[in-house]
Amino acid sequence: MNIDKLMRIDLNLLVVLQVLLEEESVTRAAVRLNLSQSALSKSLTRLRTSLQDPLFTRTAHGLKPTTHALQLQQTLPNLLQGLYQLTQAPSFDPASSDRHFSISMLESAYATLLPCFIGPLLQQAKSIHLDVLSWKKESMQALQQGKMDFGITALDFSEDHRLEIQKLPDGIEHVILFNDHQTCLVHQHHPILTAVENGSWNQDAYLQQNHIQIVCEGNKWWALDYFLEKQGKQRNIISTLPDFYGGASLCAHSDLIFTLPSSFITHAQKLYPLKQIPLPFAFSEMAYVLIWHQRNNDEPGHKWIREMICNNVENTFGS
């Protein structure tokens, strides 16, 4: 784009050209534009100079566009409409919009959160496109760079019950969707169930078991593992998997303990005969958070999507 040349063009002249092409008469064009014929003739002269083409020839029946003017007539209306849209205040009509949005989500949130909002959202905005992607190491950077619209991830609460928002980079906004806590799954005949029943299910018993771990963002350890490390203790992680459904399957077919967010329990138990048992020691909660870049705080489409997600998740999980 040649900015210097573009700055020398009076964009109002394009409006004059469009009206002249429609009317093919200086007199009628002047009336529509509320200009004198003399002023319009001067504008036409400036147009001819800027575009280096006569644009029109006079005939007994009015102005006849040149070949170049006819070519401009094909693109000028869309160009002017685009310029007009640029001057309008931002708006978003979900009923008519066909915009594309993208959201990156933790794998555990697919089954838990997506059903809360996807139906109502697409019911009100039937033509929008929503790309749902898995949360990866690169997802936060994609949000910062504007390559991603939203993210749903998990943040842990510290021991003083404050959300660890310092893990979010500058410019990233967040809202808590709901709080969750860690719990455990075992198959229905697991020998540890006896310990749960007789009250001997404690941290020592937990650490004596073998464990399943879901790898998130390429990390084998969760906040729970760092919590145990501070005590000089460690879980014996026998198997790592990339997703929670795989973890539920392995749990159902082995004696491995599966520690996971409680919100995923119902989804796992629909598929396998699994028993939920508590995490046998105190550990801080976590929160699922919706995140986005602050550049989109006031963008109408982004605000509407955020409100749809937050309102529908709240309706499902409560305040």
**Structure confidence at residue 221 as a pLDDT band (50, 70, 90):** confident
Q: Does 91 reside within a domain?
A: no
Q: Does 271 reside within a domain?
A: yes
Q: Does 153 reside within a domain?
A: yes
Same structural domain, 11 and 50: yes
Q: Does 39 reside within a domain?
A: yes
Q: Give the pLDDT of residue 1.
A: 61
Q: Does 95 reside within a domain?
A: no
- Give the domain CATH number at 108: 3.40.190.10
Question: Is the predicted pLDDT of residue 85 greater than 60, yes or no?
Answer: yes
Same structural domain, 255 and 272: yes
Same structural domain, 111 and 155: yes
The more confident residue out of 277 and 156 is: 277
Q: Give the pLDDT of residue 10.
A: 82
Q: Which of 57, 86, 115 represents a domain boundary (last residue)? A: 86
- Indicate the number of domains in the chain: 3
Question: What is the pTM (predicted TM-score) of this model?
Answer: 0.72
Least confident of 122-126, 208-212, 219-223, 245-249: 219-223
Q: Give the pLDDT of residue 236.
A: 96
**Structure confidence at residue 42 as a pLDDT band (50, 70, 90):** very high
**Structure confidence at residue 163 as a pLDDT band (50, 70, 90):** confident
The more confident residue out of 55 and 161 is: 55
Same structural domain, 310 and 174: yes
Q: Give the pLDDT of residue 310.
A: 95
Cα 223 to Cα 70: distance, rounded to the nearest angstrom = 67
Average pLDDT over residues 256-277: 96
Query: How many CB atoms are closer than 10 A to CB 70?
Result: 12
Q: Supply the range of the domain harboring residue 263.
A: 182-284
Q: Does 92 reside within a domain?
A: no
Q: What are the structure tokens assigned to 316, written together?
A: 């499902």
Burial (0-12, 13-18, 19+ Cβ within 10 Å), 109: buried
**Structure confidence at residue 5 as a pLDDT band (50, 70, 90):** low
Distances in whole angstroms, Cα of residue 298 to Cα of each of 89, 139, 150, 293, 295: 12, 22, 14, 11, 8
Same structural domain, 48 and 8: yes
Question: Is the predicted pLDDT of residue 9 greater than 70, yes or no?
Answer: yes
289 neighbors 174 (Cβ within 8 angstroms): yes
Average pLDDT over residues 232-259: 96
**Structure confidence at residue 166 as a pLDDT band (50, 70, 90):** confident
